[in-house]
Amino acid sequence: MGVAAYRTVAADLRRRIEQGEFDPGEPLPSRADIARAYGVGSNVAAAAVRALVDDGLAKGRAGVGVFVRERRSSSTMERSWTRQRLQGRLALSEGGREASGAGSVRGRPLSRTEPASPETARRLGIAATDPVVRSEYLLTRDSSPAMLCVSWEPLSITGGTPVALPGAGPMAGSSVIARMSSIGLPVTRSTETVTARFATREEADTLDIAPGAPVAAIERTYYGGEGPLETADLVIPGERFRLAYEIPAVPADGPGPA
């Protein structure tokens, strides 16, 4: 085949995927079928499939096969003070309209108590090694992973209250805003710092994206007055969502917003 044979096979399979011959979620031909169809050896067929996986066009499922990945989405994730966010759900829109579908579902948090790391302590304004509740959960939309979240709350704030564990008690599954308000600590503001980076292998596995795919990593902190109540690391697959923020124009002396 001249140029590395597997590249030629991968290029043709890529063309067939892009032209819609294989729908998202549909299995690709087996390596044996690819080898027969293109007149190559099994090693070449396997290398071609690996190339498609590395490019993010396909994904393997252990013991099942290799499947075409979903196409990039134009959905927008609203990160402002939306009704959905206040309820602990994702606010999603497509083409300026609220996205249809099954909505977002929050997985049951996995929580444990641990000493605060120096970075977590800095973000929460507490001393290093002070006890915090660490929780990890996944939000999905239409059964597709949409956000991975790891959060930390000072045990000095929630300890001994009905909301000490996000996944237990009368407020189980509620948003941070609702949980804190229930114990008399209303959230008054939040800060978010966004970084674009590549997914780690663990994040890629959890979010069902290709290793090294772009993600938006958000460092979020909720405050009650001036004191931090919770801080979290959010990871969002860049191929599925754009992030949108609404910034209100507050009258002030001097020049307008930059």
Q: pLDDT tens digit string along 191-211?
A: 999 999 999 999 998 998 877
In angstroms, the Cα distances linking 135 to 23, 95, 113, 130, 132 are: 36, 33, 9, 16, 10
pLDDT the model gives residue 61: 78
Tokens read off for 175: 């948003």
Write down the pLDDT at residue 98.
Answer: 65
Across the 258 residues of the chain, what is the mean pLDDT of every consecutive 10-residue run? 79 92 89 93 92 86 82 80 82 69 76 97 97 96 90 97 94 93 95 96 89 92 95 94 87 55
pLDDT at 3: 58
Return the C-alpha torsion angle 38, 42, 48, 49, nearest 10.
Answer: 110
CA gap 156, 174 in Å, rounded: 20
Sheet order of strands, 97-98 included: 97-98, 91-94, 75-78, 241-244
Residues 91, 200: Cα–Cα separation, whole Å: 25
pLDDT of residue 197: 96
pLDDT number for residue 236: 96
CA-angle at 215, arms to 200 and 258, nearest 5° = 140
Rounded-to-integer distance, Cα 89 and Cα 214, Å = 23
User: How high is the pLDDT of residue 2?
Assistant: 44
